[in-house]
Each structure stands twice: as structure tokens, then as C-alpha cells.
Structure 1
């Protein structure tokens, strides 16, 4: 019985340690632009690119709603919607079962995460500033 209790506590600690993550801080460059380092794992939320300080893209933050982003950047040139692997996990009701990518020509792309239970509520998951963006899902 004592071993079973110890096993349960160990598993809870392992799960808690695996779920913890901290966002990467932004660094200011000499020209006043914000540059955010790439995430070490693809599942981390991050804003990437050498964003000019006066650019509307500099106002984008992780967790913003799709409507807030559209107020800042306008309507995207193209979009792409897809399911993540988490959609197939039984009894997973978290916020990352679906994603949508929005592409802005000459600006970059914004990825939203959302859940399909009770309607999709898109929140910014990742943003990539790229002035060479062609604006279309390839």
C-alpha cells in the first residue's frame, strides 16, 4: 500500500513538472525593435522576428483574441485551419485541439489555438514577423 501511494505521488510530480513552462522574454535591440528568441520546443507559445518598434505587429501579444488581432492588423490575406494531435486524445478538453494560421502579405503570420467544444475561441499561440511573407498558405 505504501509503495502504491509513493508511485501515485511520483507520477503526480512528473506530470506537474512536464506541464510547467515559462515564456521567453523579449529583448530590445539598439534600433528599438523587439526580437524574441525562437522556442526550444515547437509546442511553446512565442513571438518571433526582428519587429520594428513602430510596426502594428509589435502590438501583438500571446493570448490575444482573433478579433483583437484583426483590429490591429486587419483581415489576413489567407488562412489555414487544422486539428492538432490533442483532438484525438480521449477526455482532453484543453484549449489546443484546433489551430488556425493567418497570413499577412509583407508582414508575417499569426497562429491561434482553440478548442472545438462549445464553439472555437481563438487565442494567439504564435506570431512570426516576416516582411518577405507572400501572404498565402503554402
Structure 2
């Protein structure tokens, strides 16, 4: 049987893990719990089973981490110029606009003791007519973040699951 401190800790972790922010960049913003988290980070290619034939793991521009690219870019898509490892400002410059929708959520790394990386939070954005992008959202104590770690080519926008 669980003791009270363990039960309280499990309840707190469950509650805090469900918190997220949803923003509609074209019509205001609201803060509400995220219904479902966005896709988890790609596991290393050696230990991960192939999810589907249209998904590939790619090294970042500087080679320090891996990101995931899903789907095939449609002809003339601005997403073809994007590279894993670009920062958010570079992406917005390459696409010529801001995202249409975005939401943030905590990744599992948020709960790793003494984790000081920039991936404790994630930002998931939708560019209508192009697809979805996943960025690192910053560390446990804020700061840094904004590195592109996922590209999902989907002109229909069905990839966006806040």
C-alpha cells in the first residue's frame, strides 16, 4: 500500500505533467491544459524500431543531436529549405512568416534530476499549408531553447494535435 508522501508525490507529478500552454497566433491566446502531448522525441536510430517508411532520423547541422523528419515535402514547399538544428528566427526568416498556431508542453526530461539541457519543454507549431515543426522550448529554469528538432511535412495540417 502506498504511504501518504508517495501518493502525494505521484499526484503532484501527474498534475504538473498535464500542464501546457496553447496559443492561437491568429486570434488571441488562451492558457488551458494540453489535451494530448505532441509526439515524443525521436529515440536513437540504433535502438528504435522503424516507425514508418516516411520517417527518418537526421543529425543536426552541428552534429550534436538528432532530429526527426516525417513525410515528403510537396513540390514548391518552403519546408524543403529547413534543416534540423536551425533556430526559430532562422526558420521564420526562411518561411517568411510566423507560425499560425503553437503550443508548449513539458518533455519527460523535465523530471530528470540535475538536467540542465534546453529540452525540458517543447514547442509544437503549425504552418498552414506546409506542416508542423517541433522546437526545444528551454530548460527547467527557463532560458535557451528554440532549436528545430522535428519537421513534419503535412499540408493538410492534420499533424497539429494540441
> Which TM-score applies when normalising by structure 1?
0.64
Counterpart mapping for 1:12-31 below 5 A: 21=44
Say which one has the larger Rg. Answer: 1
Matched residues in 2 for 1:87 and 1:96: separation? 8
- In 2, are the aligned partners of 1:62 and 1:126 still within 8 Å (CA)? yes
Aligned partner of 1:95 among 89, 109, 118: 118
Please list every run of 5 or more consecutive structure 2 residues that lacks an aligned counterpart in the other structure: 1-42, 47-52, 58-65
| Deviation, structure 1 residue 67 | 0.3
Q: Secondary structure at the match of 2:55?
A: coil
Aligned partner of 1:82 among 90, 96, 105: 105
Matched residues in 1 for 2:107 and 2:159: separation? 22
The structure with more helix, counted as a fraction of residues: 1
Matched residues in 1 for 2:117 and 2:72: separation? 31
Q: Secondary structure at the match of 1:103?
A: strand
| Deviation, structure 1 residue 39 | 4.6
Please list every run of 5 or more consecutive structure 1 residues that lacks an aligned counterpart in the other structure: 1-19, 24-35
Matched residues in 1 for 2:144 and 2:56: separation? 25
**Partner residue, 2:147:** 123
Say what the alpha-carbon RMSD is for the aligned residues.
2.8
Matched residues in 1 for 2:152 and 2:70: separation? 5
Q: Secondary structure at the match of 1:63?
A: coil
**Partner residue, 2:92:** 70
Per-residue CA deviations over 1:74-129 (Å, capped at 9, x if unaligned) read 11110001111111111111231110011011110000014334513210010101
> Which TM-score applies when normalising by structure 2?
0.55
Per-residue CA deviations over 1:38-64 (Å, capped at 9, x if unaligned) read 158xxx611122114532110111000
**Partner residue, 2:78:** 56
Give the aligned length: 104
- In 1, are the aligned partners of 2:70 and 2:152 still within 8 Å (CA)? yes
